[in-house]
Structure 1
C-alpha cells in the first residue's frame, strides 16, 4: 500500500510520517521515501544530521534506475528515453517492497530500523537552473514500477502545500494523509489539495495536528467535514522528537499512539485500484509527452504506453505477476 503525507509547511507532516513509518515496522515490510524539498525524514527517524547528509540521492542514480526498470521493454529504445512518467510495459522490471535489487542496493539505507530512500536536497548547483520536481521525478518513476500489495507499505513524505500537483505524483498513492492544523491557513491548503484531487478519486484523509482542546476539533470538523479521520493532541513526546530526542514509540502518549493505529487501519482498509493507477499513469504520461518530453527526447513518448499491460496482481494463483 502506497501512502503519502502532505500538508502545509510546518504542519508536522514529516514528524507524523516518521512516527507512522516506525509504527508500521513489524506490521509488514516498509519502505520510506523522503520526497520533500526539506530533507528531514531521516533525522525524524532518528538519524544524526551527518548520517542524513550521507544518504545517496535518488536523482544522482537516475540513469542506473532507468536502465534497470527498462528491462527488455521493446517500447523503450534506451534509458535516455525514459522520463518521470514513463509507465511499465511488457518486459519492464518491477519493484517489490521487500526484495533485494540493484536500485535498493544503491539508493536505500537502513535508518533507525527503517529502509529509507531520499530524493536529495536542493543544492547550490541547482539554484537558478533546476526545479525540485526534477528530483521528485525519480520517486514518480519508482512508484510507477512498484508492485506492492496489502501488508506491504511505502510511506512518502511529500513536498509541502499543493506542490504535488506539478506532476501526476499525487495519483500514485492508495491513501493520502493530509496533516492539518486547526488554522485557516492550514485548512486552506486542505481545500486546495482536496479540490485538485477530487477529480482523480484520490483517497484523502485529514489528520488534525497540534490539537489542544475540543474547540480545535470543532474548528477542523467545521472546515474539513467528513474527511477528518482523527487528530493528534499536543505532545511532549513530539516536542522532544523535534529537538532530536527520538524515543521509542512506547513513550508516546496513549491517545496519540492510538492515532497511529487508526491510520494503519485506514490504510489496510483501502482497496487498491490498479485500473485507476494504470489509467492515470497513461494520462499524465501523454500530458508530459505533449508538454515537454517529446521535444526533450526527440521521440514520440506516447508510443511507450503498452495498452495491453496492467500493473497489478495477476488474476490467477501467481500473486506477484502482472497481467493485461
Structure 2
C-alpha cells in the first residue's frame, strides 16, 4: 500500500503522517516512512534527535546507485545516465519490495526504534542545502522517490507512507498518481479548504483517491465548517493532543497512551487505506506512469540525456504479474 499525506504548510500533515506510521508499526505492519517534504521534519516526528535526523542519508545523493540497481539488465535502458525520474520498469528491471534487503535500502534507509519497541525504516530526500540555493529545483530531489515508487511492488499488508511537500507543489511531478490513498490534512480555515479544493481539482482527471483529515478541530463549529466545505470527502477529524505536545517537546510517552479519540481516528485511516486496495487498478497505474514519462521525455528528458526515452517503455511489462510472482525476502 502506498499512502500520501498532503496539505497546506503548517496544517499538521507531518504530525499526522508520523502518527499513522506509529499506528502501523504498533500493529507490527511492515512500513517504510519517506520524507519528501522540502522541510524535513518526519524523522524528528518519529523521535529522532536533531543530530540523528541530520545524519540520515539523502536519497538524492544516492541517485546514481538507485538508477543502476533498478535498471538491472533491462535492454531498453542503455545506461543509468539515460534514466530519469519517470523511467518505467520493464523486462530485466529490478523491482523493490517492502519486506526485503537490497542495495537501495542499504544506502538510503535507516531503522528507527519507536518508544513501544516497534520499528520502521525511514528514507529522506534530503533538505535544501546552501549549494542548491538559486540553482536547483526541490522537485529534482524527490525524483529518487518517484523512481522508487515506479519500481515498487507492494501488497495490502505492507505500507509505504510518504510525507509530501506542501500544497499544490505535489503536482510538479507525476508522483501524486503513485498512491492508493491520499490523505489531505486540512485545518478548519479558508486557507486549509482552498488547498483541498485546488488539490481535488488538479487530481480530478487522474483517479486519485482523496480523503480529508480535519486537524486542529476545537469544537462543533470547526467540525461543521469542514463538513460544509469538504462534504463526503471529510473522513475524520483530530483535535488537541497532549501526547503530541509531549512528543514535540522531546518527551514522548508510549504510543498506547495516545488519546482514545485520536487512536480511533488512526484506525479509521487504516481501514480506509486498507479498503482502497480493492480498488487498485494496475493498468491505470501503469498507463499514468507511461503518460508522465513520455511527457517528461518530450519536455526535457530527451534533450538532457541525448536519448529517445520513449523507447524505454516496455508495452508488455506488468507490475501486477510481478507482484504475484515475487516472493518477499526476509528483512
Segments of structure 2 that go 5 or more residues without pairing to the other structure are: 114-118
- Indicate yes or no: 2:305 matched with 1:297: yes
Contact 1:249 1:257 in 2 (8 A): no
Report the equivalent of 1:99: 100
Contact 2:11 2:185 in 1 (8 A): yes
The 1-side partners of 2:309 and 2:315 are apart by: 14
Which of 195, 202, 209 matches 1:203?
209
Q: Deviations over 1:67-120 (max 9, x none)?
A: 000000000000000000000000000000010101001110012321000000
Report the equivalent of 1:259: 265
Paired residues, number: 320
The 2-side partners of 1:3 and 1:55 are apart by: 22
- Indicate yes or no: 2:17 matched with 1:17: yes
Deviation at 1:320, TM superposition (A): 5.1
Which of 238, 243, 262 matches 1:237?
243
Report the equivalent of 2:142: 136
Any runs of at least 4 consecutive aligned residues in structure 1 with deviations exceeding 3 A, and if so which? 313-316, 318-321
Report the equivalent of 1:312: 320
Q: TM-score, normalised by structure 2?
A: 0.94
* Secondary structure in structure 1 of the residue aligned to 2:34: strand
Q: Deviations over 1:180-212 (max 9, x none)?
A: 000000000000001001110000010000111
> Structure 1 residues 36-45 or 229-238, which shifts more?
229-238
- Indicate yes or no: 2:184 matched with 1:178: yes
Report the equivalent of 2:291: 283
Report the equivalent of 1:118: 124
Contact 1:147 1:320 in 2 (8 A): no
Q: CA RMSD in A?
A: 1.3
The 1-side partners of 2:255 and 2:281 are apart by: 32
* Secondary structure in structure 2 of the residue aligned to 1:269: helix
Report the equivalent of 1:85: 86
The 2-side partners of 1:266 and 1:273 are apart by: 16
Q: Deviations over 1:291-314 (max 9, x none)?
A: 101100011101101011121245
Report the equivalent of 1:6: 6
Which of 273, 276, 299 matches 2:281?
273
* Secondary structure in structure 1 of the residue aligned to 2:141: helix
Deviation at 1:246, TM superposition (A): 2.8
Contact 2:30 2:120 in 1 (8 A): no
Which of 215, 218, 241 matches 1:212?
218
Q: TM-score, normalised by structure 1?
A: 0.96
Deviation at 1:161, TM superposition (A): 0.3
Which of 189, 196, 200 matches 1:190?
196
The 2-side partners of 1:7 and 1:226 are apart by: 18
The 1-side partners of 2:171 and 2:196 are apart by: 13
Q: Deviations over 1:134-167 (max 9, x none)?
A: 1000000000000001101000000000111000
